Amino acid sequence: MLVKFPKPRSDEMAKPWKTLDSEETPHGVLELRQRDEHEFLITIAGRILMNSHTNRSELALAQSVCRAIKDHTAPRLLFGGLGMGCTLRAAIEELPAAASIEVCEITPVVARWCAGPLAGINRSALDDPRVQLEIEDVSRIIANRADDDGKPRLDAIVLDLYEGPHAKTNAKRDPFYGTIALDVTRRALAPGGVFAIWSEAPDAAFEKRVKAVGFELELIRSGKGGRRHAVYLARRKR
């Protein structure tokens, strides 16, 4: 079971955030912040990317994809984006012992945070023997798998990335959510394989592109009340 930490009390909400570490990136300064024992933020250019106490959609992403492949005894999964490691931990809890999980994280400092200050909230997910971490752009890994006929295709590809698909996404050339990339992803999956995507909000244009390249699509909105992010499950047609 995932560790359930109590939500901050009202008096804790007033505590100032402490920056534990930071690093310059092409998108701005990436920071890890903390204000009580179990409450963390990751921000970029001052914008909150994730909060350890508000991650229900990320957990729903992992749980949904694992349930979609529950009949596989030795599923092969590829995760793009590590974040705080909580999505990975949620998947670990659902997957069988024979599963293999390749995790791609493009920013080395995020991997260090997950193995260090954040290990308590993700229960040392990177130490699970089923997990293999790659410091790499996941789009390259997907392309390599799609083009390599000598490797078995994947049972699931999970993208838990910054923003997800949105209205300004380049419909053809986006490296993850454009038509070309979606077709590559389809080819990297085994027939019936699942492509799972986290998004800040539903995107109708993205939904049309996914269906057009040969996926059956399901939209999941987790929780009730507050901001509800989107989880897409796209299954490759057999």
- Mean pLDDT score of the chain, rounded to an integer? 90
For residue 231, pLDDT beyond 80: yes
Q: What's the confidence (pLDDT) of residue 11?
A: 52
DSSP 28-92: EEEEEEEEETTEEEEEETTEEEEETT--HHHHHHHHHHHHHTTT-SS-EEEEE--TTSHHHHHHH
Using pLDDT thresholds of 50, 70 and 90, give the confidence band for residue 89. Answer: very high
**Lookup result for tokens 């699942």:** 194
pTM as predicted? 0.90
Which of 219, 141, 221, 157 has the alpha carbon at shortest distance from 194? 157
Question: How much of the chain, in percent, has pLDDT values that exceed 70?
Answer: 91
Q: Which amino acid is at 203?
A: D
Q: What's the confidence (pLDDT) of residue 1?
A: 42
CA separation for the pair 196, 236 (Å, rounded): 11
Average pLDDT over residues 208-214: 97
Mapped onto helix, strand or coil, the DSSP state of residue 215 is strand
- b/e map of 171-180 (b: 16 or more CB within 10 Å)? eeebebbbbe
Residue 204 vs residue 53, higher pLDDT: 204
Q: What's the confidence (pLDDT) of residue 86?
A: 94
Give 138-167 pLDDT, tens digit per residue: 999 999 999 877 778 999 999 999 889 998
DSSP bridge partners of 196 = 158, 233
Give 101-134 pLDDT, tens digit per residue: 999 999 999 999 999 999 999 999 999 999 999 9
Which of 41, 64, 177, 206 has the alpha carbon at shortest distance from 121? 41
Structural domains present in the chain: 15-51 (no CATH), 56-236 (3.40.50.150)
